[in-house]
A and B are shown apart, each in its own frame.
Chain A
């Protein structure tokens, strides 16, 4: 019973798409995502569960095909299994794809950790007309097995009971796990290496047979371990001999022979365990794929589905957004009437409620958007979409999988977009994608564009101008990607090899979890960064106070105050720089404030124009004020719009970018300065050409 007196650590391992995350979700009910899109779980996730007096700590490791060291996911999984000392490792095996899943099992078995198998998707195996003999498999592998079906979910309590029972009975203590028989020749070489490893004090703490197999496997991390050891020359020379011996004997490289033996083991298990019972039912995935992946229909269907996602988000979120807006207006009025003191009232109503309300107003749109994306991800379409888009993306130096981060950012938020680039294998592809993600028209930029188009273009043209902005953003992103891939980040996108999982109906719970996890990032930004910035901006515009002189009208006083305030002064200093692109101090201030968060641009303009009440306009809404202000013109509006589209992303985005680009100052400065310069040049060209041709002056 000694093992159970402390907390139990349970690690979940499995192939991508094995339903591992679904099991993890139902076990822990944590904020954690499930997905068909490979690499959803990039870092290990933890969830705590109390059961029968034990506190069980579940750790969800990234889905991998093997425990080699060629991608970050694999390294995370493998490091935890070796160094994390889990009490029990649950290997989730997809019964409908058992051969490849057992390949991973053979590798875990070599690590000498206590293993239990959860055999998932038994129902799908039945659809294929097969059954599996659980008992025989358990005896054969020497591992306890628990069966679960994919869509009905698993009996959580029964699985928890099973885990606790297995531990209580101490079944795992003397576990004899079946290991792959590599044959006499390889075994000899393994023994030779093992002996050398045992003699080395540093290396002997690792499972010795595992390490020697990994060495024969030419595993980079294992080689690195050896290179750091004291007896490296002896081991390396023995390794060289062993590898060449195996190559001579089998006529192929050691890693191929080892993989062959592992698959052979998996195959022999299947032959004894899986029985054909009935006829295979028609495969729906096959039929859908015929259309979705069709040479000619593929891209049109992709465009259609993207359209459905956007349409869904817009149509369903509209009434909710209206309610939100009404609520914030009502809240502003209520709070305004409660607080009597003028400066505090303006701080709370204009600064806090106005600023945060601007973001929260868009929150329903983002929620619905992420729900739709999660639906297509979990159903298995997104993997196909990446395949369909690969060729197109390749032309611009991007990878097929790059399109998902871009998708998340359009109307969503660039922060989860940048986080989603973790699914990309190569560092180069990741950097390029992260760099272009902020160009997308994110949820925060929509109010800015809506304001400008609303003010300067007739209602007939507004829709086309807005869609022009979307197209423009995509063009800018692709051109930048191409530019980067031909200059700073030379090379070709990583190879595209991806498993296409069978389609299935997503579970609502998983969708909601995923939706919430992504939107939470956005919401948190609204609650913290934007709230702070709104207050800061309000302060910068109100202080220091202008000297009071009695013979001035109210409007003149306000103008004087704006000139006196910190923001006004900063705007004046920066104004000459922005004159060639047709901007005045007000807009410069708004743009600078927009560095905090793009939605702040609108609220800043609102603040400025509410302080500065011009005589010619008596209208109330910001849109009308801008429309009749003489310092604006349609051309200037367009230039402002283009500048907003391209210039430096918001601080939240920059923070994530910095963190995800492995804290590289080089890339941070490039995205901060480069984008600003790029925006200036683009605006300059548009403005000067417009002035020359006298369009919309």
Chain B
């Protein structure tokens, strides 16, 4: 039974990773590469950009409709998918509770002219536009 669970988890993990790669829209990708070269930190996770999968229209549509960068998210409830880029920021976010799968609420969003205010694990956290750009979320469907 335990082995079976392991296999399931493995499949889930692969799927998760695959989705994460997939959903990074092109501009995030370019943005990150650009930043990493400029800031000389090659620590980033280099996600590959995929074109929409041919023949899976509803799947593609779901991605376009439900997945956003945090900086583009309207106020509401979301689920965190991935945070990327340099290790320091990633860890800082991690210890503040930004764990993949965690639910979060966007309270207000004035990016790109301001920052994003969210509530995660019961605490209010302010993020600048640059940080919010590196967080991918999925809208929570009730």
Is B6 located at the chain interface by the 8 A CB criterion? Answer: yes
Bound together, the chains give a CA A319 to CA B32 distance in angstroms of: 57
Is B33 located at the chain interface by the 8 A CB criterion? Answer: no
Within 8 A of A (CB), among B110-127: 110, 113-115, 117, 121-127
- Residues of chain A within 8 A (CB-CB) of B89 are 495, 497
Is A295 located at the chain interface by the 8 A CB criterion? Answer: yes
Task: Name the one of B9, B35, B94 contacting A249, with C-beta atoms under 8 angstroms.
Answer: B9
Bound together, the chains give a CA A470 to CA B105 distance in angstroms of: 41
- Asked if A492 and B39 make an inter-chain contact with CB atoms under 8 angstroms apart, the answer reads yes
- Residues of chain B within 8 A (CB-CB) of A394 are 128
A-B contact count (CB 8 A): 123
Q: How far is the CB of A292 from chain B (nearest CB, A)?
A: 11
Is B63 located at the chain interface by the 8 A CB criterion? Answer: no
- Asked if A496 and B115 make an inter-chain contact with CB atoms under 8 angstroms apart, the answer reads yes
Is A156 located at the chain interface by the 8 A CB criterion? Answer: no
Chain A proximity mask over B60-95: 1 for CB below 8 Å, otherwise 0: 000000000000000000000000000111011111
- Asked if B125 and A500 make an inter-chain contact with CB atoms under 8 angstroms apart, the answer reads yes
The number of chain B residues touching the other chain, given as a range, is 35 or more
Q: How far is the CB of B28 from chain A (nearest CB, A)?
A: 15
- Residues of chain B within 8 A (CB-CB) of A501 are 124
- Residues of chain B within 8 A (CB-CB) of A611 are none
- Residues of chain B within 8 A (CB-CB) of A554 are none
- Asked if B128 and A400 make an inter-chain contact with CB atoms under 8 angstroms apart, the answer reads yes
Majority secondary structure of chain A interface residues (helix, strand, loop or mixed): helix
- Asked if A390 and B39 make an inter-chain contact with CB atoms under 8 angstroms apart, the answer reads no
- Residues of chain A within 8 A (CB-CB) of B6 are 249
- Residues of chain B within 8 A (CB-CB) of A391 are 113-115, 128-129
- Residues of chain B within 8 A (CB-CB) of A499 are 96, 123-126
Known contacts A256-B100, A298-B114, A97 near B123 by CB under 8 Å? yes
Is B52 located at the chain interface by the 8 A CB criterion? Answer: no
- Asked if B127 and A497 make an inter-chain contact with CB atoms under 8 angstroms apart, the answer reads yes
- Residues of chain B within 8 A (CB-CB) of A33 are none
- Asked if B9 and A99 make an inter-chain contact with CB atoms under 8 angstroms apart, the answer reads no
Kindly list the 6 A-B residue pairs having the minimum CB-CB distance in the complex, ordered from nearest.
A251-B13, A496-B128, A66-B95, A387-B126, A295-B110, A500-B124
A-B contact pairs, 17 of them (CB 8 A): A96-B122, A99-B122, A103-B95, A249-B6, A256-B94, A259-B94, A259-B95, A260-B100, A263-B102, A289-B117, A496-B130, A497-B93, A497-B131, A498-B126, A499-B123, A499-B124, A499-B126
Please report B residues at the A interface, Cβ cutoff 8 Å: 6, 9-10, 12-14, 16-17, 35, 38-39, 87-89, 91-97, 99-102, 107-108, 110, 113-115, 117, 121-131
Please report A residues at the B interface, Cβ cutoff 8 Å: 65-66, 68, 70, 96-97, 99-100, 103, 218, 248-252, 255-256, 259-260, 263, 285, 289, 293, 295, 298, 383-384, 387-388, 390-391, 394, 400, 491-492, 495-502
> Besides the contacts A256-B94, A491-B39, A496-B115, what 10 more A-B pairs have beta carbons closer than 8 Å?
A70-B92, A96-B122, A97-B121, A248-B10, A263-B102, A293-B108, A387-B115, A391-B115, A497-B125, A497-B128
